[in-house]
């Protein structure tokens, strides 16, 4: 895997710092464990609305990253099929957001 963003997500997964899938991510957001939520390019409009609402409801300000990565690309990086992921660690979340922003021009 040559993409630093995806590699970082893989490390976060192995460290137990990710929640994967709709229900787990919503639970992580509600419990304020989520520091960053990542949605694949194939995520439905309904999923994006629900995630955005959950991340801002009640004064929460959890960033949501709508990526260009496919569900299979994200899933391959973390080892679990999921269209939505939350990063539940501040350090991993900041690093992931930085790597995505610095790498967003690449489409490989």
User: pLDDT of 72-99, one tens digit each?
Assistant: 999 999 999 999 999 999 999 999 999 9
Phi and psi dihedrals of 16, rounded to 5?
75, 25
The token pair that represents 10 in the structure block: 């893989």
> pLDDT value at position 2?
52
Residue 88 to residue 85: CA distance in whole angstroms: 9
- Whether residue 40 contacts residue 84, with contact meaning beta carbons closer than 8 Å, is answered with yes
pTM above 0.75, yes or no: yes
> pLDDT value at position 102?
83
Highest CATH level, class, for 4-103? alpha beta
- Predicted confidence (pLDDT) per residue in 49-68, tens digit: 999 999 999 889 999 999 99
């Amino acid at each position: 895997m040559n993409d630093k963003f995806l590699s970082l997500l893989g490390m976060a997964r192995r460290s137990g710092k990710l929640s994967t899938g709709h229900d787990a991510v919503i639970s992580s957001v509600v419990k304020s464990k989520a520091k960053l939520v990542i949605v694949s390019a194939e995520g439905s409009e309904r999923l994006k609305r629900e995630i955005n609402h959950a991340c801002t409801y009640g004064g929460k300000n959890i960033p949501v990253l709508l990526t260009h990565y496919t569900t299979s690309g994200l899933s391959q990086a973390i080892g679990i099929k999921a269209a939505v992921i939350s990063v539940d660690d501040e350090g991993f979340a900041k690093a992931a957001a930085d790597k995505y922003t610095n790498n967003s021009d690449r489409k490989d």
